[in-house]
């Protein structure tokens, strides 16, 4: 059985090791095709859509070594009898820590003031530091990562509020967090808004021009989730006209960005290279999990991180 490894950053020998004892050969490839291909190992940079299945008649499993799975057409895969899985949870702590680090950076003006100081200025007028304790942190998306962020925000003495259309208010309250039934209510009262919701058709550009306009003047935005959750043109305008005090972004519409990427020139903006997920541990764990899920499916079992049960399984 052939398994195609489409992610160029995945070590081939590590992927092959997951199938020890199975009659499986892992091959590196740039295109998903082959009558005898039974599984695909991908990252969030490779898509698997319904149209691809025509070239993969024997496909039985697909695993992405990412938390987000908008690169996979899960419904089409399930309808075709194919297991699809992601690796949710492998970097919850890392992403939460990154989001909180960005929150602290923005409120205290650390990066902006560092730039100003290196440029010859001496003073804090460019980004007046604010008190973190007592500031309101608004969390959009109260899943695993959102809850990790909430715990850290509460530990810093912040007032933490959350919006999630799929999580009951009672569950949010149990975490010591103030729930909001409407996104705009959360946006209107937060000093910092941080995004932790998956990218779906309903959340694409969740923070559109109208939503960004609801955010209080002088507020900050943190995005370590998906760039497409935000209308970037509207965000740039809000930063340039000074209505928003700043933003911290770990994700951009095109990665890596071109030299003329607008976000790189926005004022009071911190940009990191999609690194919120990273630590020495999380750098290897997602690959092991994804390969193990494919191995389980090929052995007739059920992947631990299955996104949907395939027809006929």
CATH of the domain at 171: 3.40.50.720
Whether residues 9 and 146 fall in one domain: no
- Residue 172 has a pLDDT of 98
Task: Please give the chain's pLDDT, 313 residues, in tens.
Answer: 999 999 998 999 989 999 999 999 999 999 999 999 999 999 989 999 999 999 999 999 999 999 889 999 999 999 999 999 999 899 999 999 999 999 999 999 999 999 999 999 999 999 999 999 999 999 999 999 999 999 999 999 999 999 999 999 999 999 999 999 999 999 999 999 999 999 999 999 999 999 999 999 999 999 999 999 999 999 999 999 999 999 999 999 999 999 999 999 999 999 999 999 999 989 889 999 999 999 999 999 999 999 999 998 8
Residue 48 is classified by DSSP as: B
Number of folded domains in the chain?
2
- Residue 68 has a pLDDT of 86
> Is residue 105 one of the residues assigned to a domain?
yes
User: Is 10:41 a contact under the CB 8 Å cutoff?
Assistant: yes
- Residue 67 has a pLDDT of 86
- The rounded radius of gyration (Å) of the Cα atoms in the chain is 21
Range of the domain at 121: 92-271
Whether residues 145 and 158 fall in one domain: yes
User: Is 299:122 a contact under the CB 8 Å cutoff?
Assistant: no
Whether residues 79 and 101 fall in one domain: no
Whether residues 15 and 142 fall in one domain: no
Whether residues 184 and 166 fall in one domain: yes
Taking the C-alpha atoms of residue 232 and residue 263, their distance in angstroms, rounded to an integer, is 8
Whether residues 81 and 196 fall in one domain: no
Whether residues 131 and 197 fall in one domain: yes
Whether residues 38 and 51 fall in one domain: yes
For the record, the structure tokens of 277 come out as: 């997920």
> Is residue 313 one of the residues assigned to a domain?
no
Whether residues 217 and 253 fall in one domain: yes
- Residue 226 has a pLDDT of 95
> Is residue 160 one of the residues assigned to a domain?
yes
> Is residue 276 one of the residues assigned to a domain?
no
- Residue 185 has a pLDDT of 98
Q: Which residues are catalytic?
A: 226, 255, 274
- Residue 313 has a pLDDT of 83
> Is residue 231 one of the residues assigned to a domain?
yes
Return the sign of the alpha-carbon dihedral for residues 36, 40, 46, 50.
Answer: positive
Residue 262: which of 228, 229, 239 has the closest Cα? 239
Pairing of strands 246-249, 136-140: unpaired
Q: Which residue(s) pair with 2 in the sheet? A: 25, 37
Q: How far is CA 112 from CA 159, 216, 253, in A?
A: 24, 21, 23
Pairing of strands 159-163, 269-271: unpaired
> Is residue 106 one of the residues assigned to a domain?
yes
> Is residue 251 one of the residues assigned to a domain?
yes
Whether residues 61 and 177 fall in one domain: no
> Is residue 14 one of the residues assigned to a domain?
yes
Whether residues 160 and 287 fall in one domain: no
pTM of the predicted model as reported, rounded to 2 decimal places: 0.84
Whether residues 251 and 128 fall in one domain: yes
């Amino acid at each position: 059985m052939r398994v195609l490894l489409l992610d160029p950053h995945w070590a081939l020998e590590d992927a092959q090791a997951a199938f020890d004892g199975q009659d499986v050969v892992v091959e590196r490839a740039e295109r998903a095709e082959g009558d005898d291909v039974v599984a695909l190992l991908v990252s969030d940079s490779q898509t698997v859509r319904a149209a691809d299945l025509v070239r993969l008649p024997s496909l039985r499993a697909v695993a992405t070594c990412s938390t987000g799975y908008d690169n996979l057409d899960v419904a089409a895969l399930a309808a075709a009898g194919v297991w699809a899985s992601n690796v949710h949870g492998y970097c919850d702590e890392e992403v939460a820590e990154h989001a909180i680090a960005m929150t602290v950076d923005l409120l205290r003006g650390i990066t902006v003031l560092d730039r100003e100081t290196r440029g010859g200025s001496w003073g804090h007028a460019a980004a007046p530091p604010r008190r973190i304790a007592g500031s309101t942190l608004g969390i959009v998306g109260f899943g695993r990562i959102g809850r990790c962020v909430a715990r850290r925000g509460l530990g810093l003495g912040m007032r933490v509020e959350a919006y999630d259309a799929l999580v009951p208010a009672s569950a949010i309250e149990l975490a010591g967090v103030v729930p909001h039934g409407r996104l705009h209510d959360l946006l209107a009262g937060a000093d910092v808004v941080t995004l932790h919701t998956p990218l779906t058709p309903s959340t694409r550009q969740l923070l559109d021009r109208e939503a960004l306009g609801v955010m209080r003047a002088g507020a900050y935005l943190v995005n370590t989730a998906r760039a497409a959750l935000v209308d970037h043109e509207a965000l740039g305008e809000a930063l340039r006209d000074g209505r928003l005090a700043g933003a911290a972004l770990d994700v951009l519409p095109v990665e890596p960005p071109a030299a003329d990427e607008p976000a790189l020139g926005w004022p009071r903006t911190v940009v990191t290279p999609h690194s919120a997920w990273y630590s020495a541990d999380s750098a290897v764990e997602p690959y092991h999990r994804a390969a193990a899920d494919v191995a389980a499916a090929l052995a007739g079992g059920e992947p631990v991180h299955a996104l949907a049960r395939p027809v006929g399984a």
